[in-house]
Amino acid sequence: MSSVQRPIAVTLGDPAGIGPEIIVKAFRNAAGEMAGCFVAGDVGTVRRAAHALAAPGMLALPVAAIEVPTEAVSVPPGCIPVLQAIEPPEGTIAVGEISAAAGRMAGDCVVWAARAALRGEIAAIVTAPLHKEALSAAGFSFPGHTELLQAEAAAHLGRPVADVPVRMMLANDELRTVLVSIHMSLRNAIEAVTFDGVLETLRIAHRALTAVLGRAPRIGVAGLNPHAGEGGLFGSEERDIIVPAISSARAEGIDADGPHAPDTIFMRARAKAPGAAGEFDVVIAMYHDQGLIPVKYLGVEKGVNVTLGLPLVRTSPDHGTAFDIAGTGQADASSLVEAVRMAKSLSGAVRGA
């Protein structure tokens, strides 16, 4: 099967959150963008979401149960193709509540999709939001999608997890940022700013963005401390760790620049208008919130989370399970649609790399 024919799997997400709702809305409101996609999840859950979103007096968007991913392309227009990737739930999943049952469903969908992608059966994975607490309650030992997918990739490749380094990139039309560390306490994140960690992040970002842009990206590196340490007055990490890592990256031909003050570098990198690129194509942030706050401030409806470094393409919306509005019909599917667009683009870039 050629890679062009392979569909994209959209995982169910936590069924107690807005995942099923935004999936239905995406297929209903952006059918063209969702062409070539199917849901890896639970048929009954998606059908219930479709019925809940149907306008009074109108029929719900039909759900077509498929047996294998390739059947997604032959489903009639106006249907949501769903592959029963997990065991159906034994009881009702309460919307808006954390539960081990919901966490198990969400996690099992991701495992199924990861293994299908690693076998080459699907072109990419788009993951609807899961709830980390529910995932933990279900017995998964991973704090989120990224670490779970990293472990699956390592097992598939027969390598230790440490030998499959991954990084999170958050991107929208105006800004991209790649993180040195992901889901850990701030205290531990500071300790994670090491020479090897920063250099590996630069290498991963360089490889990934070169494939996407068709050229070497201009990489701006944020400092860890205020004013990027101000020559050691506010901390030594820039002088002792980040600068040497940048120098080593530049010696490898990577266009990296910095470290720059964290409170200004994102403004410098931001694209001011379509086609008007900023000073950098991507910013390397030293920890989770340093990088994610600027991108999310620009609008979560357009943000996409991309896992770099995996032997598969994975994207996701830039938001969580939103238990507070789950089941109300208020959730916005825009970020999920953007994640599908990005997955199609990245899987195309991988084929052409």
The C-alpha atoms of residue 88 and residue 84 are separated, in whole angstroms, by: 8
The C-alpha atoms of residue 61 and residue 40 are separated, in whole angstroms, by: 17
Spatial neighbors of 177 by CB under 8 A, at least 6 apart, are: 169, 170, 171, 266, 282, 283, 284, 285, 291, 292, 294, 295
Q: Alpha carbon 1 to chain centroid distance?
A: 26
Q: What is the pLDDT of residue 185?
A: 93
Helix (H, G, I), strand (E, B) or coil at 9: strand
The C-alpha atoms of residue 93 and residue 138 are separated, in whole angstroms, by: 14
Query: Is the full-model pTM beyond 0.85?
Result: yes
Query: Cβ distance 124 to 117 under 8 Å?
Result: yes
Domains of the chain, earliest start first: 1-165+301-353 (3.40.718.10), 173-298 (3.40.718.10)
Q: Which amino acid is at 321?
A: T
Q: What is the pLDDT of residue 77?
A: 87
Burial class (CB in 10 A: 0-12, 13-18, 19+), 320: middle
Q: What is the pLDDT of residue 81?
A: 98
- Full pLDDT tens readout for the chain, 353 residues: 444 479 999 999 999 999 999 999 999 999 999 999 999 999 999 999 999 999 888 889 999 999 999 999 899 989 999 999 999 998 889 999 999 999 999 999 999 999 999 999 999 999 999 999 999 999 999 888 989 999 999 999 999 999 999 999 999 889 999 999 988 899 999 999 999 999 999 999 999 999 888 999 999 999 999 998 788 888 899 999 999 999 999 999 999 999 999 999 999 999 877 667 899 999 999 999 999 999 988 876 778 999 999 999 999 998 899 999 999 999 999 999 999 999 998 886 444 33
Query: Cβ distance 229 to 238 under 8 Å?
Result: yes
At which residue do the structure tokens 């357009």 appear?
A: 302
Q: Which two tokens stand for residue 331?
A: 């959730």
